[in-house]
Chain A
Amino acid sequence: MADEDGSFVDFEQIDFLRDRHVKFFQRCLQVLPERYSSLETSRLTIVFFALSGLDVLDALDVVNKPSLTEWIYSLQVLPTDDQSNLGRCGFRGSSHIGVPYSTKGPGCPHPFDSAHVAMTYTGLASLIILGDDLSRVNKQACLAGLKALQLEDGSFYAVPEGSENDMRFVYCAACICYMLNDWTGMDVKKAIDYIRRSMSYDNGIGQGAGLESHGGSTFCAIAALCLMGKLEEVFPKRELDRIRRWCIMRQQNGFHGRPNKPVDTCYSFWVGATLELLDVFRYTNFEKNRNYILSTQDRLVGGFAKWPDSHPDPLHAYFGICGLSLIGESNLRRVHPALNISDRALEHMQQLHRTWRDTLHCSSAICLKTS
């Protein structure tokens, strides 16, 4: 196949190997070697990458949905009999604490068992992707657990025992409220204030006030505001234009996360999705972006890496695929740029929300009738 100037284009190097990636995610869901031990406490996020990845690839048929659903529910931290642990409820990242396997309540009292905000987020998202109706999720407990994590400055801890606090967890919190369709889980005003204060002099957004602006935290901030429906309320047009400029300058061929840093496949999503939310993604160079992402594709093993000729991992595999989805790569489902799940999964979530609303109306109508 010849290109414009007549030279032979090595087509093999730039094609998307869909089936390899399906197999890559399938393998992730099975067994990982011990060198992945640092991922133990966040195994649920790996499940999310694999499931959402397969969803975008339209290959969810290869997974055993019922057994995956059970395993995810076994990670829910439910209220104990005396409800004394409500501030610790949500989802765990894995069974690493040693609580006995259980997919239903009441919760088992344990001095150190508590949820992690990123696991509650990815747990709920994974259930939605699997088509679950969230009927076994104790939503009030999740929201109580979330409330317990918010600090005075508006940001969030990851766990009630304390941890670092930054924009990542603000985003996770926003996703949780959005999926549960309930914003009582956070003080939105304080969260918005934290976001505003995290904007840097260079118009990108850092992990917190004063910190260097970064593609990841910029995504977290903008996506959180979009989920809250507050983007234009918080940033007037002049500021949005400045943020657009900072983001669009991240494209080098692929994207990097900070000025003068090397590009990395995952920023094709973090920055790409932010640009999409700001309605200027279409002004980026799709071809250079695509070529970079595909240069990091592992042709043997499947998946994507941050750089060419590097080892693939579930995170970069997932965000590489999402990056391609943003540019409209054929045979990939579209990804909702704020919630980071496929349009199909989003549709299921919206249907669930309609059902919840209707159930609420029915029950209040009954109350009116009988009163």
Chain B
Amino acid sequence: TCSLPFKTLGGVENMKCGGFMSVLTDLVSNPAYCGFRDRKEWADLEPVPQDDGPNPVVKIAYSDKFTDVFDYFRALLKKDEKSERALALTTEAIELNAANYTVWHYRRVLLQALQKDLREEMRYITAIIEDQPKNYQVWHHRRMVVEWLNDPSEELDFIAEILSQDNKNYHAWQHRQWVIQEYKLWDGELDYVEELLEEDVRNNSAWNQRHFVVSHTSGYSDPSVLEQEVQYTLKQIKKAPHNESAWNYLKGILQDRGLSSHPGLLEQVLELKETHCSPYLIAFLVDLYEDMLESMDGGQGQEEPLSKALVLCELLARETDTIRKEYWRYVARSLQTRFGSGDPSVPTVETEPQTTPASD
């Protein structure tokens, strides 16, 4: 087909002893690239170069091969050609830059126009995602193919495989939630979540998925479900006390009903405080006392929960969560203002504005 190598590395000029060897090895490891320009089957097409005008900015230095593939891609785009060679070219373009959303869109147009085998496309996109699991375009493409096939049967296993490599991959979780919600595949998902939490109880994505599943199935209004979830979470906290995700889940499922309304919870948490303390536990108690104060609605007995909350804020500021000390003092001041008796003898904490540690 081509009469000349497209490009030789090293160059024929480099014919010194060592130079000759390197030209040879170069040709072996980089076989001559035959560009589209030189292929008969593409002779009808005029390549379209990128045009950045007289002063290009953020110009990417593409190799000749890269430029060649995309110059021909642009030519096909302009023609809106619908052909096998066009589909083949999108495969090459994707290999070079899987983030080019125009290439993916054009590929989808071709898949439909040429009535291509979508099962084969699923195999293709599976391989691409395995290779580049943090790319937006590949996941969107998979979603489109699944929709066209109206077949989600491979999805949960596939996503689990991707999550086994990175169990917090946001794209994977997003795709998983879409599949489950769209095709009502709730069965077994809670088990899957528990498996993941067994592996890593600190996996925040798994906790989020737990909430996703429960809220869309039984919901949290059923008191036995709520209690089950509370107990499950407390169990996980006992296993790993310093875990923001578990505490966020506990607070999250109870906060709208009022933390102080859940019978026995305060006592359980106070007990945990002795052996399984953490900044999250203390903060939870502050929030619980705040809720207590709110439901008292200015009535009798506010002094006790208020002073408990203020003591805990100071504990957080001085000892347990010092990085946020200014914040916890702000929380204390707010509580004092909202629920305090306005007694001028009660000390309030003043803060000076922070100065930036100087760099000069």
Q: Note all chain B residues with C-beta closer than 8 A to A208.
A: 174
Q: Tell me whether B57 and A96 are in contact (CB under 8 A).
A: no
Q: How far is the CB of B88 from chain A (nearest CB, A)?
A: 18
Q: Which B residues form the contact surface with A (CB < 8 A)?
A: 48-63, 66, 70, 74-75, 77-78, 80, 96-102, 105-106, 136, 139-140, 168, 170, 173-174, 177, 181, 202-205, 208, 211-212, 215-216, 243-245, 248-249, 251-253, 255, 283, 323-327, 329-330, 353-360
Q: How many residues of A contact B (CB 8 A)?
A: 81
Q: Tell me whether B208 and A260 are in contact (CB under 8 A).
A: no
Q: Note all chain B residues with C-beta closer than 8 A to A80.
A: none
Q: Which listed segment binds B: A158-166, A189-197, A220-228, A342-350?
A: A158-166
Q: Which listed segment binds B: A26-34, A175-183, A353-361?
A: A26-34
Q: Note all chain B residues with C-beta closer than 8 A to A40.
A: 60, 97, 99-100
CB < 8 Å neighbour of A31 from B61, B97, B204: B61
CB closest residue in chain A, given B360: A330
CB < 8 Å neighbour of A37 from B97, B140, B173, B244: B97
CA distance A286 to B359 in the complex (A): 13
| A202 at the B interface (CB under 8 A) | yes
Q: Per-residue CB proximity of A270-308 to B under 8 Å, as 1/0?
A: 000000000010111111101000000000000000000
CB < 8 Å neighbour of B58 from A43, A203, A251, A330: A43
Q: Note all chain B residues with C-beta closer than 8 A to A36.
A: 60
| A232 at the B interface (CB under 8 A) | no
CB closest residue in chain A, given B96: A37
Q: Tell me whether A112 and B55 are in contact (CB under 8 A).
A: no
Q: Note all chain B residues with C-beta closer than 8 A to A28.
A: 58
Q: Note all chain A residues with C-beta closer than 8 A to B326.
A: 282-285
Task: Report 28 cross-chain contacts, Cβ distance below 8 Å, ordered by A residue.
Answer: A28-B58, A33-B61, A39-B99, A41-B102, A47-B58, A70-B53, A71-B53, A71-B57, A94-B52, A95-B50, A96-B70, A98-B48, A98-B49, A98-B75, A101-B52, A112-B77, A158-B101, A162-B105, A164-B136, A201-B211, A208-B174, A242-B255, A248-B324, A251-B323, A251-B324, A258-B205, A260-B244, A329-B356
Q: Note all chain B residues with C-beta closer than 8 A to A202.
A: 208, 248-249, 251-252
Q: Which listed segment binds B: A145-153, A209-217, A315-323?
A: A209-217
Q: Tell me whether B252 and A260 are in contact (CB under 8 A).
A: no
Q: Note all chain A residues with C-beta closer than 8 A to B51.
A: 95, 98-101
CB < 8 Å neighbour of A212 from B74, B105, B205: B205
CA distance A94 to B252 in the complex (A): 44
Q: Tell me whether B105 and A29 are in contact (CB under 8 A).
A: no
The 3 closest A-B pairs by CB, nearest first: A201-B252, A98-B74, A67-B55
Q: How far is the CB of B330 from chain A (nearest CB, A)?
A: 5
CA distance A261 to B356 in the complex (A): 27
Q: Tell me whether A112 and B330 are in contact (CB under 8 A).
A: no
CA distance A287 to B105 in the complex (A): 47
| A231 at the B interface (CB under 8 A) | no
CB closest residue in chain A, given B327: A283
Q: Per-residue CB proximity of A322-344 to B under 8 Å, as 1/0?
A: 00000111110000000000000
CB within 8 Å for A280 and B327 given contacts A37-B96, A100-B51: yes
Q: Note all chain A residues with C-beta closer than 8 A to B204.
A: 212, 258-261
Q: Tell me whether A37 and B356 are in contact (CB under 8 A).
A: no
Given A37-B62, A47-B57, A207-B174, 7 further pairs, Cβ under 8 A: A15-B359, A31-B59, A34-B63, A37-B60, A111-B80, A163-B136, A242-B255
| A38 at the B interface (CB under 8 A) | yes
Q: Note all chain B residues with C-beta closer than 8 A to A248.
A: 324, 327
Q: Note all chain A residues with C-beta closer than 8 A to B211.
A: 200-201
Q: Tell me whether B353 and A67 are in contact (CB under 8 A).
A: no
CB within 8 Å for A98 and B248 given contacts A16-B359, A31-B59, A251-B324: no
CA distance A16 to B359 in the complex (A): 7
| A234 at the B interface (CB under 8 A) | no
Q: How far is the CB of B219 from chain A (nearest CB, A)?
A: 13
